[in-house]
């Protein structure tokens, strides 16, 4: 193998290395974006659960008031 062949092989390997580095960088960015989306979805689910818990507590309060019983004490 001559020096020119080695130079061409080295150039090809460097190009491949740059391409792989770019692909890895793109994958990292995509993963980071997915994590951000998942965190936002989790926050939205927590907020929704909080609202639903509050609505359920209001429903219990109304039921207790109208029925004259403590629903929460008689649950399971």
Query: Are residues 71 and 58 in contact, defined by beta-carbon separation less than 8 angstroms?
Result: no
Q: How many CB atoms lie within 10 A of CB 47?
A: 10
Confirm whether pTM is higher than 0.75. no
63: burial class by Cβ within 10 Å (0-12, 13-18, 19+)?
middle
Please report, in tens digits, the pLDDT of each residue of the chain (76 residues total): 799 999 999 999 999 999 999 999 999 999 999 999 999 999 999 999 999 999 999 999 998 899 888 876 765 5
Angstrom distances, CA of residue 4 to CA of 12, 14, 16, 19: 12, 15, 18, 23
């Amino acid at each position: 193998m001559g020096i020119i062949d080695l130079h061409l092989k080295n150039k090809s390997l460097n190009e491949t290395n740059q391409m792989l580095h770019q692909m890895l960088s793109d994958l990292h960015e995509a993963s980071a974006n997915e994590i951000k989306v998942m965190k936002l979805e989790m926050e939205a689910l927590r907020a929704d659960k909080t609202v639903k818990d509050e609505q359920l507590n209001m429903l219990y309060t109304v039921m207790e008031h109208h029925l004259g019983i403590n629903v929460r004490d008689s649950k399971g």
